Chains A and B, each alone.
Chain A
């Protein structure tokens, strides 16, 4: 028969109380932090996955923010291109008027002034900036790409380069996101040369030349439209990727939540159970004490 001594009873009581209080403490931590993984040792696998997810989410969020930047850039580029296209339409109208056969030196002078206006507008458009960087300078983004020298002469040189600027839209997509000044205005027929020649042709009433320049303007317009389509397609790609990344973000956050968030109902219930257990053990101990024969001997 096993002897029972007060020391044994005390030891067992304490062991049970510590265990019950431990459960209470764990449940309380879950409730106050909202997480069931508060330490790496609570669930090492969940902690590891959560850490990876944190990194993935950070990378995703970065892509989303970069893509917003790229989108803004593309929008401004599109605006500039639209302006150039409509500017060229104005020049074509002026050229058509000059061919009408009812022009006088005065009207021709006025038309020539009009073309001059389109040159200025074109210059302004091609030197468009976004956040302080020139859009159409290739990679020489802090250099003014198109310079008219002397001013008002219509003689424009291109000081940018012909290099592409890329952007990474997601982990597997890198796209070119710029249009170089070379592609825009310098490829033959060159926009500024054509406009300058058109002005001279109008002034000289050289209808053959005016017709040739009109043709040139058409092919330049077509080129600009192609470039604008490229901008449009790239913008669509950015939007598509943006939406895919947003979905991924949501999925990652869900997984993280599933792994590490505390189930409040469960935690509260565990806490209550543990607390009841502690109270029961404590009050039982207080009542029972350690009854021995001494209590009954008079």
Chain B
């Protein structure tokens, strides 16, 4: 038989339980905008019943636990989606910068190449003209300047990427350290058996932030700690222990490599912002640079060769027109006019000498004696513009440069499209996560009503029991 005081207990437990329900609801509503927050629920169960001769008699409600609603598989998908989207976005952002170096406009490299060869064509109309010779020097300088500037900009972009890689490494280490601390906090908070919902939410957010940076894979161990690894198996966080990454700058060009312990993982990071940065820095940009260098080398060697075949206004054989490329250096970066030519336009070899056919001497004689009015070398130099590249293939300079622009354009376009696609996919997955774990104000409003009503009813119940108890005391008391 339940006692009156037992009933009071039922009332009391109910008040506490409904109050907790209100509190949890209030917490959910307060956190509706908190990133990474998983809505919490009060899990209620009936208290153990009394077994009596007339059957079970209930003893009220107990709060079993306050739990977070989470789906770890969806959260895993969010992490993976974040990694992919971050990689594509990083790549796309870098390529936008690169393409602005090569965009067609009036002062582009393509224009400079054309005007350089055009200046020889003009020179051929009057090889002795000082203004025409000076114009050749000016255009050669412009061309050199254009090659150098394009390359320097690529070098600057790569340098910036190095800094970004270092920065990512720092951020990864900082996040890893925070995660390891939270791991330990969760273990001690859950020692009593309850779930550390808030801490787990925080840890989830940190893992997502980490997913923006590198390709993390993680799982939760038995003790509630999360083990994180990256780059195909390198351990990052194990419970409270962190294996930090190091950013190491390698000579000679200062490329920053990422080390985990003694292993160089720079090329093994498959996703996240780091992967995008590394792909741009180590694969795409060097390829563009090589194409630019090949173009520069070709121009240098073919112009020099042709120039050697001519004679200048002093009657001397043509010297190197452009400075030859030192082994191991970038021909585009060191592209420059021979100072001898720059200082004295008379050293431009516009004429040629070759044996004059003499018997019989044709009239006019197509041979050349290298007189100043002879323009044959200037004509030959101008005609190089329509020659195929010496380095092979069937393209002229203009076509080769245009082909490089095409390559950069398609790489950029496809990175953009990829980033857009990944972004849309990520949003979908995030929506899925929110639909499971996000706070819906409608839900919480209903909960508020439920718990409030139950509280009111329980309070009413207590009031009735109190009245009954008073009545009973009153009956007993008055008989004394």
Contact = CB atoms under 8 A, between A and B. Distances in A.
A176 interface: yes
B410 A139 contact: no
Given A55-B110, A297-B449, A165 B373 contact: yes
Given A3-B438, A5-B434, A48-B406, A182 B371 contact: no
Contacts of B121: 62-63, 66, 168
A58 B115 contact: yes
Interface string B406-440: 10111011001000000110010011001110111
Interface in A149-187: 161-168, 171, 174, 176, 178, 180, 182-183, 187
Interface in B385-423: 385-386, 397-399, 401-403, 405-406, 408-410, 412-413, 416, 423
Interface stretch (A109-117, A210-218, A233-241, A288-296): A288-296
B435 A39 contact: no
A51 B402 contact: yes
Interface stretch (A7-15, A79-87, A89-97, A246-254): A7-15
A187 B126 CA distance: 27
A8 B412 CA distance: 30
Given A41-B412, A161-B369, A3 B443 contact: yes
A208 interface: no
Contact of B113 (A49, A55, A164): A55
B429 to A, nearest CB: 11
Contacts of B96: 39, 41
B400 to A, nearest CB: 10
Tell me the dominant secondary structure on chain B's binding face.
helix
A79 to B, nearest CB: 19
B293 interface: no
Interface stretch (B97-105, B193-201, B253-261): B97-105
Contacts of B478: none
Contacts of B326: none
A62 B118 contact: yes
B363 A166 contact: no
Contacts of A65: 122
A295 B459 CA distance: 27
Nearest to B380: A168
Interface stretch (A98-106, A118-126, A130-138, A266-274): A130-138
A182 B364 contact: yes
B396 to A, nearest CB: 8
Contacts of A132: 126, 128-129
A56 interface: yes
B382 interface: yes
A265 interface: no
A39 B408 CA distance: 10
B374 to A, nearest CB: 4
A4 B440 CA distance: 7
B409 A41 contact: yes
A144 to B, nearest CB: 13
A59 B413 contact: no
A172 to B, nearest CB: 9
B336 interface: no
Contacts of A163: 356, 364-369, 371, 374
Given A6-B32, A55-B401, A180-B364, 16 more contacts: A2-B435, A3-B438, A5-B438, A6-B438, A6-B440, A15-B424, A43-B409, A50-B104, A66-B122, A138-B373, A164-B365, A167-B124, A178-B364, A187-B363, A293-B446, A294-B441
Interface of A: 2-8, 11-12, 15, 38-45, 47-52, 54-56, 58-59, 62-63, 65-66, 69-70, 131-134, 137-142, 161-168, 171, 174, 176, 178, 180, 182-183, 187, 290, 292-294, 297
13 contacts: A12-B431, A39-B103, A42-B413, A44-B406, A55-B401, A66-B125, A141-B371, A142-B373, A163-B369, A167-B124, A182-B364, A294-B445, A297-B449
Interface of B: 32-33, 95-96, 99-100, 102-104, 108, 110-111, 113-115, 117-118, 121-122, 124-126, 128-129, 351, 356, 361, 363-369, 371-376, 379, 382-383, 385-386, 397-399, 401-403, 405-406, 408-410, 412-413, 416, 423-424, 427, 430-431, 434-436, 438-443, 445-446, 448-449
Closest 5 CB pairs of A and B: A141-B373, A44-B409, A40-B409, A55-B398, A293-B445
